[in-house]
Structure 1
Amino acid sequence: MSFQVTVQPSGRQFTCDEGETILNAAIRAGVGLPYGCKNGACSSCKGKLVSGEVEHGPHQERALSANDEKLGFSLFCCAKPQSDVTIEAREVAGVGEFPVRKLPVRVAALEKKADDVIVLSLQLPANDRLQYKAGQYVEFLLRDGKRRSYSMANAPHKDEHMSLHIRHLPGGLFTDQVFSTMKERDILRIEGPLGTFFLREDSEKPIVLLASGTGFAPIKAIVEQLENAGSTRPVTLYWGGRRPQDMYMNELCEAWARTLPAFTYVPVVSNAQPEDNWSGRTGFVHQAVMADFPDLSGHQVYACGAPIVVESAQRDFVAQCKLPEDEFYADSFTSEADLASSAPATN
């Protein structure tokens, strides 16, 4: 059995198999519903259920509350139709431009950039580069059907290899492997490109880039895309960490600030210690943006990193800095530990 999903206001339609989520069916059909984590945590795919019935699988209460459901909202990454449905969602142009594919990749290099960060370089099959947009991610296909998501840290044109930034989470199914047993020439399997976090190139608005930790990875790809396009849009990058060493590619960012027109770099440290001799900006990274840009009404913001950083930025930029809601683009890096930190909600 299958059900028909109609998207308003575009009128696009696609088929959703029994037991399949609306989001997975949309991805399969090349329909650009906005999404991020795909696991019920980030709320990027939340939209209105206009008609029909769905059953929601496990998800975070903060992503879709019981009151949200009463108001007719749905979380499409975990919503399984029980009838034909009509949904209301803002479609993202360009999502279906490149097909989602499964590919084998070979580990080309592992470069330690910090005690807890490795840059993993992957070699794709010969004459078969993965097409993607700067900012998107791939999923590693692991044993027992498990998956782990990581953003590409280089623009599609930039390097021969695909680059990913992996932060070690002790006990992590994948990161423990990266930091202990993984070696050059190992073969892995990936699926991608995925995600609707990518540079909107149809605008000339000034850009604020906001990163925390390894959320810098897709931000780096976006900067490289802007550089390759010869963009003259004003860009300000804020990169936040607890200690200065958390900005593990600080020298690259400083080089961009010297060489790229209209590019500014602002590192922000929240927990500097005396031995760090830190004299730069301090505090929460999104608050540094607010201090410098009290009026964001004419800007675009691209934010990536820890869920608390992304959620705080979206809330405060819209409420206090006049940022249009539809000009905030985000990818919340939700780990398995984040998912386990609060009980999932179910119907």
Structure 2
Amino acid sequence: MGNLARLLKESWTLVEDQQDKVAGYFYARMFLSHPDLRDLFPVQMDVQRARLLNAIVTAVQTLEDPEVFDEYLKALGRDHRKFHVSPEHYDVVGGALIEAMRAFAGEQWSIEYDQAWADAYGVIAAKMLAGADADTNPPYWHAEVIAHERRSTDIATFTVAPMQPIDYRAGQYLSVEVPKYQPRMWRTYSPANAPRKDNTLDFHVRAIGAGWVSSALVRRLKPGDMVRLAAPMGSMTLDRRSTRDVVFVAGGTGLAPIKALVEELTRYNRTRWVHVFFGARNRDDLYDLAELNKLAARYPWLSLVPACSEDETFPGEQGLISEVVARYGPWSEHDFFVSGSGTMVKATLRTLAELQVPSMRIRYDTFN
């Protein structure tokens, strides 16, 4: 496996700076050879291209860690059931992918690289198919929107009631589709609550620029609308065996999985101190602060530190949430959970490394 991983990483460097072109070529070849596959994908393909490349890079990077590699690909296979992917589609995808990489790698592409990607893709496809075949759940769940509330100009929270129970853990995320407004466009969001007896799920969403799905969820969704939810994924979950105190760091609507994890802790925690750092640009973006304050008032083991990075009138902490975390501590003996934008997560991970927090005690998901 070591030589295979080396060949994959070497060959990927040949096309890494042309990722968008590789993705565009890949989809063009696939749709030209099998036009029927186009109906499985959304009209707008910009995010879909990025997700393909993210899946490739993740698979390549985890190849030398068999346990993570296996878990990631089986989860990806389960998730792809929502696209109605069938086994024969995997061959089409593999051929188009290798052809696209060969086209942009130039003269440095070799027969060895070709064979390495064929071998690797064979393993990837087999594990994804195994994950899909082993899943006894439906490809996705239908759920009715039963509540929707605008919290700020571009943030909304909403609650859905699935037609069938969904087995998930606090901290995980699900893909969401709104067929009425943006069919075949899926985006990942984390439930903001731990599993409930009535099976309802809360979501927190920020409309990102001209985001197709996020804008629909914030500005158009209303009670009575139906959404689809795909299989839960992610590993940012609590380890009940740990006795260490916990630090949650949330940026913006990255609060959703953090709130779910806190809610899970309220059901059994008696011995662990829990610190929540909640950061946003301004006080309006601290959209759920009132609810967090209620939780902190109810549970003596829970402390809350809100912060704003662009609101000098805010009476609490000022600055990026990663900077605020560094003002407290020490943190070297704590479990950390980090959730927010990619920029926020990276900044927080750098800060934690500087504070000498062991990486094995830090959990985060990189779907966004």
Shorter-chain TM-score range: 0.5 to 0.7
| CA deviation map 1:292-337 (0-9, x unaligned) | 12x422111000001111112112212x212111111012462xxx
Deviation at 1:83, TM superposition (A): 5.1
In structure 1, what is the equivalent of residue 225 of structure 2? 186
Aligned pair in 2 of structure 1 residues 40, 217: CA closer, same or farther (>3 Å)?
Answer: farther
Maintained 8 Å contact 1:121/1:163: yes
The question of 1:257 aligning with 2:257 is answered no
1:47 is aligned, of 42, 62, 79, to 62
Q: 1:258 to 1:316 in 2, by over 3 A?
A: same
Which runs of structure 2 are paired with 1:235-250 in the superposition (5 Å)?
Answer: 235-250=274-289
Residue 49 of structure 1 and its aligned partner are, at CA, apart by: 3.4
Out of 135, 142, 154, the residue aligned to residue 104 of structure 1 is: 142
1:213 equivalent to 2:252? Answer: yes
Structure number with higher helix proportion: 2
Partner of 1:322: 356
Structure with a larger share of its residues in strand? 1
Displacement, 1:178? 2.3
Is the 1:56–1:79 Cα contact (8 Å) retained in structure 2?
no
- Give the stretch that moved more between structures: 212-221 or 224-233: 224-233
Residues 261-276 of structure 1: pairs in structure 2 closer than 5 A: 261-273=300-312
| Matched-pair contact (CA < 8 Å) for 2:275–2:303 | yes
Structure 1 residues without counterparts, runs of 5 or longer: 1-18, 20-36, 59-77, 86-95, 335-347
1:291 counterpart = 2:327: yes
SS in 1 for 2:279: strand
Is the 2:142–2:162 contact (alpha carbons within 8 Å) kept by the matching residues of 1? Answer: yes
What percent of counterpart residues are identical?
A: 25
User: Is contact 1:134-1:155 (8 Å) kept?
Assistant: yes
The alpha carbon displacement at 1:81 in A equals 2.0
Report SS of the residue matched to 2:228: strand
Inter-partner Cα distance in structure 2 for 1:196 and 1:79: 29
Counterpart amino acid of 1:168? A
- Structure 1 residue identity aligned to 2:355: C
Equivalent residue number for residue 263 of structure 2: 224
Matched, 1:198 2:237: yes
1:57–1:79 Cα contact (<8 Å) kept? no
* TM-score, length-scaled by structure 1: 0.67
- Cα drift, residue 135 of structure 1: 0.8
Residue 172 (structure 1) aligned with residue 211 (structure 2): yes
User: Aligned partners of 1:158, 1:266: CA distance in 2, in Å?
Assistant: 30
The structure, 1 or 2, with the larger RCO (C-alpha pairs under 8 Å, 6+ apart) is 1
Equivalent position of 1:310 in the other structure: 345
Asked whether the equivalents of residues 150 and 218 of structure 2 are also in contact (C-alpha less than 8 Å), the reply is no
Closer, same or farther: CA 110–284 of 1 in aligned 2, 3 Å: same
Aligned to 1:139: 175
Q: Distance in 1 between matches of 2:363 and 2:138?
A: 21
Residues 107 and 185, structure 1, Cα contact 8 Å, conserved in 2: yes
Task: Look up the equivalent residue of 1:136 and give its one-letter code.
Answer: Q
Q: Confirm whether residue 162 of structure 1 aligns to residue 198 of structure 2.
A: no
Corresponding residue of 1:81: 120
Per the normalisation by structure 2, the TM-score is: 0.63
Query: Taking structure 1 as reference, are residues 271 and 48 closer, same or farther at Cα in structure 2, changes over 3 Å only?
Result: same
Distance 1:211 1:297 in 2: 19
Report the secondary structure of 1:315's partner residue.
helix
State the partner residue of 1:117.
Answer: 155
Larger Rg: 2
CA distance in 1, matches of 2:199, 2:207: 25
CA–CA distance in 2 between the matches of 1:169 and 1:263? 31
Query: 1:196: how far off?
Result: 1.3
1:101, 1:193 within 8 Å by CA — same for their partners in 2? no
**Matched AA of 1:311:** K
Partner of 1:30: none
Alignment length (residue pairs): 261
C-alpha distance 50-323 of structure 1, shift in aligned 2 (>3 A): closer
**Alpha carbons of 1:98 and 1:227: their partners in 2 closer, same or farther (altered >3 Å)?**
farther
Q: Is the 8 A contact 2:206 2:218 kept in 1?
A: no
Note closer, same or farther for the CA distance 1:38–1:158 as it changes in structure 2 (3 Å cut). Answer: farther
List alignment gaps of at least 5 residues for structure 2: 1-25, 27-49, 67-93, 99-116, 125-133
Q: Secondary structure at the match of 2:264?
A: helix
The one-letter code of the counterpart of 2:149 is: E
